[in-house]
Structures are given as structure tokens and as C-alpha cells.
Amino acid sequence: MSKSLEFLTEALRRLPGVGPKSAQRMAFHLLQHDREGADMLSRALHQAVSAVHHCALCNTFTEEDVCDTCNDEQRDRRLLCVVETPADQLMIEQTLTYKGLYFVLMGRLSPLDGIGPKDIHLEKLVARAADGLVTEVVLATNFTNEGEATAHYISEMLKARGIAVSRLARGVPVGGELEYVDPGTLAQALQDRRDT
């Protein structure tokens, strides 16, 4: 195989879920059937890598210093919702019930994978939450053990600085029939039951 082709295959293998065979197939496809697409891909990658960086306020991907969401005057600056990924932020946006701002960790604490506080920008979050306008931080990390550990440490750090912290509620899903809800979720819903 030519040097350039080999280089391209190696590069494609850096994508998640792409092994040597898939990478080779992609490389052949681009060079044989879609040279225009290959050119487009190359330009798009180059542009994205040079233009996209983290928002100074919420840490999500943006091309400006501060992203559109953080710049939106209509949003409630007293609320700050902490999520693991931009995809999680999108889900919360889709609920149409949250009007505050966000902080995107771009990951979660995962001790066994060696992912610690430095990898999820906790210092930036503390600085962001202490801007004097935020009165409540809503922790919306996942309900996995790693997400819970992340929420616990953020909550300890922020409470020590006098910032009010809340956590997403969990329990039976909307339209959930108890007969079909998984027992783990139901057990949590019982533990977290509330007065009516």
C-alpha cells in the first residue's frame, strides 16, 4: 500500500469504533468513488479543529469566546445546570422547561479509568458558579455510580463556598406502569418518595 494511503488508514482508525478493515474500506471508498467528499472532509476537519474550542463560560464547544446559549439575554442567570456532555445539554433543552444556563463537564469522574477532577474542569466550574449571579446549581450528571460520584464532589465543593446545590430527581418514568418498571428504578423511587 502507498505511504499516503497507509497514513490515511491510520488516521481513520482514530475514530471510535473503526478498526483496520473499516478504515481501509473508508479510505478506498473516498479515493475511488468520492474524491470530492474526501476534499470536503479534509477541509471540514481542518476548519473545525482550528475554529472550535471551549466556551469561556460553559465549557461546551463553540467558535466564539462565549457560546450562543451563554450570550442569550432571555436566560435566567441565577440557574446553572451541570451536565456531562453536550448531548445531555441538548436533551435538557428539549424538555422546554429549563431556562437557565449550563456548564458542560465534557466527561465524568471515573476512578477506575483514571479520569479525575483535572479531566472534567472542576476548577473552571467552581469559578463559573461563583460569579455572584448564580444562586442555584442543578446537578444533572448521569445516574450511574460515576455520575453520582461526580455529583457528590461538585456538591461538596460548591456547598463549601456557600452556593446552593440541587440534584435532578429520579424515579418512575412518565407513563410508567409499575408492573413494567425495572426493580432498581422502583427501589430508588421508593427511597426518594416525597410528601404530597
Partner 1 sequence: MDLAEANNLEAAGMAGPPAKSRAPARRHEHQRGYVLHTYPYSETSLIVETYTREHGRVPMVAKGAKRPGSALRGALMQFQPVAFSWSGKNDLRSLTQAEWIGGLPGLAGDALFCGFYLNELLLKLLARDDAHERLFDCYEAALLALGGGGEEAGVLRGFERELLREIGYALNLTHEADSSIAIVAEGRYVYHPERGARRLEAREHPDFEISGRTLLELDTGVYSTPQTAMQAKLLMRLLLNHQLNGRALATRQIFTELQQL
Is 162 a residue that touches partner 1 (CB under 8 A)? no
Q: Which of 3, 14, 193, 194 binds partner 1 (CB under 8 A)?
A: 14
In the complex, least distance from residue 157 CB atom to partner 1, rounded to whole angstroms: 6
Cell of 160: 463549601
Is 148 a residue that touches partner 1 (CB under 8 A)? yes
Is 13 a residue that touches partner 1 (CB under 8 A)? yes
Q: Which is nearer to partner 1, 15 or 48 (CB)?
A: 15
In the complex, least distance from residue 43 CB atom to partner 1, rounded to whole angstroms: 26
Instruction: Give how far Cα 132 sits from Cα of 65, 80, 163, Å.
Output: 20, 12, 10
Which listed range, 35-43, 52-60, 100-108, 140-148, lies at the site for partner 1 (CB under 8 A)? 140-148
Distance CA 34, CA 32 (A): 6
Instruction: Give how far Cα 179 sits from Cα of 4, 34, 143, 185, Å.
Output: 58, 52, 22, 12
Segment 34 to 73, residues that bind partner 1, using CB under 8 A: none
Q: Which is nearer to partner 1, 76 or 126 (CB)?
A: 126
Distance CA 82, CA 138 (A): 6
Q: Which of 49, 96, 114, 178 binds partner 1 (CB under 8 A)?
A: 114
Distance CA 173, CA 177 (A): 9
Is 163 a residue that touches partner 1 (CB under 8 A)? no
What is the size of the binding site for partner 1 (CB under 8 A)? Answer: 32
Is 174 a residue that touches partner 1 (CB under 8 A)? no
User: Which residues make Cβ contacts (< 8 Å) with residue 92, sequence separation at least 6?
Assistant: 81, 83, 98, 102, 140
C-beta neighbour count of 49 within 10 angstroms: 9
| Cα angle value 122/164/185 (rounded, 5°) | 80
Q: Which is nearer to partner 1, 114 or 175 (CB)?
A: 114
Is 124 a residue that touches partner 1 (CB under 8 A)? no
What does the binding site for partner 1 look like in residue numbers (CB under 8 A)? 13-14, 16-20, 22, 109, 111-118, 122-123, 144-145, 148-149, 152-153, 157, 182-185, 187-188
